[in-house]
Amino acid sequence: MKENFVEQIADIEKDFPQWYTDVVLKTRLVDYGPVKGTMVIRPYGYAIWENIQKEMDARFKATGHVNAYFPLLIPMSFFTKEAEHVEGFAPEVAVVTHAGGEELAEPLAIRPTSETVIGNMYAKWLQSYRDLPILINQWANVMRWEKTTRPFLRTSEFLWQEGHTAHATEEEAMEETMKMLGVYKEFAENVLAIPVLTGRKTEKEKFAGAVATFGMEAMMKDGKSLQAGTSHFLGQNFSKAFDIKFLDKDGSQKYAYTTSWGTSTRMIGALIMAHGDARGLVLPPKVAPTQAVIIPIAAKKGGVIETCLKIKDDLEKAGVRVVLDDTDNSPGWKFNEWEMKGVPLRIELGPRDIEAGKALIFRRDTLEKGEYALSGVVEEVKDLLEKVQKDMLEAARKRRDARITSADGIDGILKAVESGNFVKAGWCASRECEDKIKAETAATARIIDDKLSHKKCACCGKPAIYTVIFARAY
């Protein structure tokens, strides 16, 4: 039965993209929506998103941010106020031209991002330096009309959070930008168990309308990078476009400095591709909808169900998200089903186990099984969940670090990325060299490394101004 289950998923080593599609559909995370490029997030997938929201929202509030909600529809005229912004988003914007049976006097954009509409509101609300800083986050949906889509990774409509802040000085705004990048990094590593690299984006890769963009890059199991979050220093670009001004202490009118930062349901795609294996999902305990599943063996014998119910009740009281699978499917079928769904721990209990005062506990991340005393099973489960969380991060970190290499020329970059690696290389900071590297290797500049470790540009051979991490990316 196990072989048949696994056969439903493409070989992760031979066809990683198909493996990904098979996993998201067969574990019922998503289904395809009726409109091309859209997805329906099913209950199991949405439960992961709820856990992500809960963890992230607590971090936002701990850093002084509050939640609000802004309109989905944005006047198209707003997008013309910041030239670089409108140019960057124009190909992806969906536009409403008719409503109520009539043509609208002004077309309305379905938000691809909210800098413009929020900037318009901040201009109304901000009067004095006493009103600053403004620290607002929004949980919402956005629409970007994508030509090529894949569930979670790139869809026409997706869920996200977007933080938008306004500050009195450039220094405060930059501090906010870097602080939230740090919040994202801590979250990715300690909640998603995904080690990330953070750093500044090149001018080509920065957010349209930003002065500077800082990104968070995660390595997937095929060696490609996934941008898992970004934090943008917007300077005064949007403040001047939307007249976001305040009366300062010295009695003069000044433009505010603004930031924006966001992560999305893409992080669920990152979870799948950073941790998954040939059997399906492998979920870190902190975001797993079910942290432990109890499988009764020979359920009608020797008080098995009664003991399982007692363990379930005790685990729930201890705060563990637990399911008792008392369906009439065979134990083997259940093992495969819950393994595919990535549940961190499986507790197996039969008459002989009860007689011996033991329970078998299986770890999804390592595929290891051990015997534990029934009398202390709750504490053992809690300890194991903590261990799984830490071990998954460490395993992912070792896997990533072993696949970060270095190159001195374009041929070296090409060889490295074709082998599924991130590659550090020198760059002279010219757009021409960045474009040539992409054209010849299909690798893009993910982030600028914090250390200049290369003397020459990998493309032109001139002195390197930066060391950049190049990778093929989703």
Per residue of the chain (474 residues), what is the pLDDT tens digit? 344 445 589 999 999 999 999 999 999 999 999 999 999 999 999 999 999 999 999 999 999 999 999 999 999 999 888 878 878 788 889 999 999 999 999 999 999 999 999 999 999 999 999 999 999 999 999 999 988 899 999 999 999 999 999 999 999 999 999 999 999 999 999 999 999 999 999 999 999 999 999 999 999 999 999 999 999 999 999 999 999 999 999 999 999 999 999 999 999 999 999 999 999 999 999 999 999 999 999 877 778 999 999 999 999 999 999 999 999 999 999 999 999 999 999 999 999 999 999 999 999 999 999 999 999 999 999 999 999 999 999 999 999 999 999 999 999 999 999 999 999 999 999 999 999 999 999 999 999 999 999 999 999 999 999 999 999 999
Provide the 8-state DSSP code for 442: S
Q: How far is CA 273 from CA 44, 173, 192, 339, 474, in A?
A: 17, 34, 12, 16, 11
Q: 404-471: which CATH number, 3.30.1120.130, 3.40.50.620, 3.30.110.30, 3.30.70.990?
A: 3.30.110.30
pTM over 0.75: yes
Distance in angstroms (rounded) separating the CA atoms of residues 423 and 413 = 6
User: How many angstroms separate the CA atoms of 113 and 126, rounded?
Assistant: 21
Q: Which two tokens stand for residue 395?
A: 């395993």
**Fold of the domain built from segment(s) 8-275:** BirA Bifunctional Protein; domain 2 (3.30.930)
Structural domain spans, the chain: 8-275, 292-385, 404-471
Residue 171 tokens, joined: 């220094």
CA distance linking residue 69 with residue 67, whole number of Å:
7
CATH architecture of 292-385: 3-Layer(aba) Sandwich (3.40)
Contact between 346 and 359 (Cβ < 8 Å)? no
Report the phi/psi class of residue 193: left, alpha or beta, with left for phi > 0 and alpha for psi in -120 to 50. left
